[in-house]
Structure 1
């Protein structure tokens, strides 16, 4: 069954969307969208370094995303405006990556595949990396769920419960790096943040508890991946942007439904 490239693409999209949907809830709750952008944009630099040194793209992207996540965590609370710092890091890393890619000798590189994803070329090894990495992200979040949730909702309550909110922030930034590494093949560096926040934002309208929001976000992400792949095949358009378009459509419907409920 895995010999069919469409089946592999669907499995890759669903695996990525599940991990991104769960992590995206914390990104939305903690207003970390800019953190996601900075980490995701660094992925292009990771691609360039991987091609330069002849290593795995996933390894290169993961290493640079991890370094960016640690840098963001280290600079947080150091006096510089967080928005300003993240803006500089996000766009600086993207620009440096784009310049570095063009300077690699003897290679013609399709940047679209890294900026917007190339899920149709997913291999069995890519599937193993995506589902393995996604499983680790989901397992860590569920294992640390109560501590992370407490630190997110009330840092003061977390301190009272002998929890460390800054440790929770570090875990989230490291998990963001992991999701970036596995998601670049599916939606690309420019759209990873959208896959994180849109399903979670859609789920927020209908969830009554954090746990339900997390489950609904993962379901919306998986639905967006399947429907986006189908839409891309029908219209002959790139899969990554199609997945995000479907997610945006679901968000629009959820926002409309929320507005109608308020009017009635």
Structure 2
């Protein structure tokens, strides 16, 4: 029994790491960390809608996250500063979702599992959803990788190459919504942004190409999931936050390694 639920938890953590890795690189390159936070916070509102109308959880979260991303994108071009919009949207969605869940008369739900994750309670069905979403994100990123890179580096060059940067933005938004939907069980809505940004940032000092950064982010995310899960079990701490702390430790180590490598190269 012990080995079984730990194995499921480890596989779930690896699935989220794999799903978040390539997308996290684009979040870092485009400086979209607050956009990811707003989208993930909307997941709580999606949970409330699913419970209130007896809908499947993942489609409700996907639709809500996409609606949040679309709303912010539309309003950003109408005289509102992007950081202000993201702050308003993120906190409003989170608060509205928590209030809506509390008002549901027939539902008694502990919101902590959705806020911080409950990786130890992952079932076989959850694993299928997590890995299905992870493979979908990987397929989407592989298919649009070069187009996404071009649109990220230079939108004008993307236009000249026959690409539509707005379409690539929608691809990223869809992938982000999928990651939010599959990661909510593992790290919770408050920590999804960290798993997008920290592994990608950890890989950045040690690589030279975008593809290597995506691979390094996947390795860092997987290592954070496994080491954080082991530390949580040994120390009896919450698994989701401990996984994020493990990712932060990996980030600090790669930053130090990057600086040592730079100094060594300069000394030569």
TM-score normalised to structure 2 length: 0.94
Task: Evaluate the alpha carbon distance shift between residue 2 and residue 169 of structure 1 in structure 2; reply closer, same or farther with a 3 A threshold.
Answer: farther
Q: CA deviation at 1:253?
A: 1.0
* Change beyond 3 A, Cα 1:260–1:3: closer
C-alpha displacement at 1:54, in angstroms? 2.0
**1:4 and 2:4 matched:** yes
Q: Match of 2:66? A: 66
* Aligned equivalent of 1:41: 41
User: Following TM superposition, by how much is the alpha carbon of 1:164 offset from its aligned partner in structure 2, in angstroms?
Assistant: 1.2
CA contact (8 A) 2:101 2:107 kept: no
Task: Please say if residues 5 and 121 of structure 2, whose CA atoms lie closer than 8 Å, have aligned partners that are also in contact.
Answer: yes
Task: Report the 3-state secondary structure (helix = DSSP H, G, I; strand = E; otherwise coil) of the residue aligned with 1:205.
Answer: helix
User: 1:3 deviation in Å?
Assistant: 8.2
- In the other structure, the counterpart of 2:197 is 197
| Contact 1:73-1:170 at 8 Å conserved across structures | no
* Structure 1 partner of 2:115: 115
What is the CA deviation profile of residues 224-247 of structure 1, one whole-angstrom value per residue up to 9, with x for unaligned ones? 111111111101111111110000
Q: 2:75 & 2:126 partners in 1: Cα distance?
A: 33
Residues matched between the structures, number: 264
Counterparts of 2:200 and 2:39, CA distance in 1: 19
> Counterpart of 1:130?
130
Whole-Å separation in 1 of the counterparts to 2:21 and 2:170: 19
Partner of 2:96: 96
**Structure 1: stretches of 5+ with no match in the other structure:** none
Instruction: Give the aligned partner of residue 188 of structure 1.
Output: 188
Aligned-partner Cα distance in 2 for 1:235–1:20: 26
The worse-fitting range, judged by mean Cα deviation, of 175-184 and 104-113 is 104-113
Rounded Cα–Cα distance in structure 2 between residues aligned with 1:78 and 1:206 = 40
Matched with 2:151 is 151
C-alpha spacing 1:31/1:43, structure 2 compared with 1 (3 Å)? same
- Matched residues in 2 for 1:173 and 1:78: separation? 20
Give the Cα–Cα distance (whole angstroms) in 2 for the partners of residues 140 and 2 of structure 1. Answer: 35
Q: Helix, strand or coil for the counterpart of 2:206?
A: coil
Alignment correspondent of 2:19:
19
Residue 56 of structure 1 corresponds to 56
2-structure distance, mates of 1:19, 1:78: 33
Q: Is the 8 A contact 2:202 2:217 kept in 1?
A: yes
Structure 2 residue matching 1:4: 3-state secondary structure? helix
**1:155-166 correspondence runs (5 A):** 155-166=155-166
- Partner residue, 1:231: 231
Local SS of the residue matching 1:88: helix
TM-score by length of 1: 0.96
Q: Distance in 2 between matches of 1:31 and 1:180?
A: 18
Deviation at 1:173, TM superposition (A): 1.1
Structure 1 CA distance for aligned equivalents of residues 88 and 248 of structure 2:
27
- Aligned CA RMSD, in angstroms, stands at 1.6
